[in-house]
Amino acid sequence: NQIKIFSPATVANVSCGFDVLGFCLDTIGDDMVIRKTTEKGIRISKIVGADLPFEADKNVASVSALALYNDAQPDCGFEIDIYKNIKPGSGIGSSSASASGSVFAINELLGRPYNKTQLTQFAMKGEAIASGCEHADNIAPGIFGGFTLVKSTTPLQVLQLPTPDNLYATIIHPQIEIKTSEARAILPKNIPLQNAITQWSNVGSLVHALHTNDYKLLSDSLNDVVVEPYRSQLIPHFDVVKAEAIKVGALGAGISGSGPSIFALSKSKITAEAVAEAMQNIYSKTDISFNTYVSKIN
């Protein structure tokens, strides 16, 4: 009547795939314990590691849980303990991990009445109160694992993409605050046709590279001419971090979600760790504190 789960951090956008591509990390995520209660409804019983609301209609984990609960109408209630390891506002899917974890766990406790697409749909309700819009590019990889592409949100259609062997992600989280709403507000409403052509060529190529284990093509496709030129200005030292990551062997690097975290992809764990060190060296020389993670993409 109780389940403990790990709800992973995720990287949305993956450079060229703004609002559609994402992948799942396995070394950083939140722990959550969800238990059945005789009292009906959804209750947040414990939050460790972050200052987040306990009110069921304000916490993303309970909002998504309520969406599932109201649909399933089970004969019991649930209480949720959240052990937050992903810092809110880090750009690696903190709110989406909370939103996904609760629905995933409750679905398990109910005997799995819902499929992954339905769980993503419920979790989007939680994500919406955190970010102001229902996008699923962090939720989908958290629930499906590996790489995902959100083909559409209405109706929700998620494509699971294959991951080449030995693909590793390095994440550095410089601890400055960037609100997703602000990082979205600075984006242009229209883009030049030439940039659109470059961007969809990169998205298509990246998907092809994942399907064919083509690291060279993957590397060539990790470019973002639409969003990164604007958002990178919000992240101190972004250009040098990216350049150094590539210099030590990363296939490419970009902004994780709406930032401030920066991700890089590498072909081996050794390279991913060298990339982490190169990224750390840059922020060590500043007064910005940071965390780094290296994670295999499965």
Nearer Cβ to ligand HSE (106/139): 139
Strand order in the sheet with 168-174: 252-255, 262-266, 168-174, 290-296
Binding mask 181-210 for ligand HSE (x = CB under 6 A): --xx--------------------------
Smallest distance from ligand HSE to CB 210, Å: 19
Tokens found for residue 118:
């339905």
Is residue 89 close enough to count as binding ligand HSE by CB under 6 A?
Answer: no
Is residue 131 close enough to count as binding ligand HSE by CB under 6 A?
Answer: yes
Is residue 137 close enough to count as binding ligand HSE by CB under 6 A?
Answer: yes
Q: Is the peptide bond before 155 cis (omega within 30 degrees of 0)?
A: yes
Binding mask 8-47 for ligand HSE (x = CB under 6 A): ----xx----xx----------------------------
Q: Which residue in the list 180, 228, 244, 292 is annotated as catalytic?
A: 180
The residue with tokens 């550095």 is 172
> Which among 231, 153, 224 is positioned nearest to 185, based on CA atoms?
231
In this chain, which of 7, 219, 258, 295 binds ligand HSE, going by CB under 6 A? 258
DSSP-based three-state secondary structure for 67: helix
All residues at 6 or more sequence positions from 156 whose CB lies less than 8 Å from its CB, including other chains? 117, 120, 121, 124, 136, 150
Nearer Cβ to ligand HSE (135/267): 135
Tokens found for residue 18:
């703004």
Nearer Cβ to ligand HSE (20/265): 20
Q: Which residue in the list 10, 120, 127, 153 is annotated as catalytic?
A: 127
Cα–Cα distance measured from residue 266 to residue 243, given in angstroms and rounded to the nearest whole number: 14
Task: DSSP letter for 51, please.
Answer: -
- Contacts with ligand HSE by CB under 6 A lie at 12-13, 18-19, 131, 135, 137-138, 180, 183-184, 257-258
Residues with catalytic roles? 127, 180
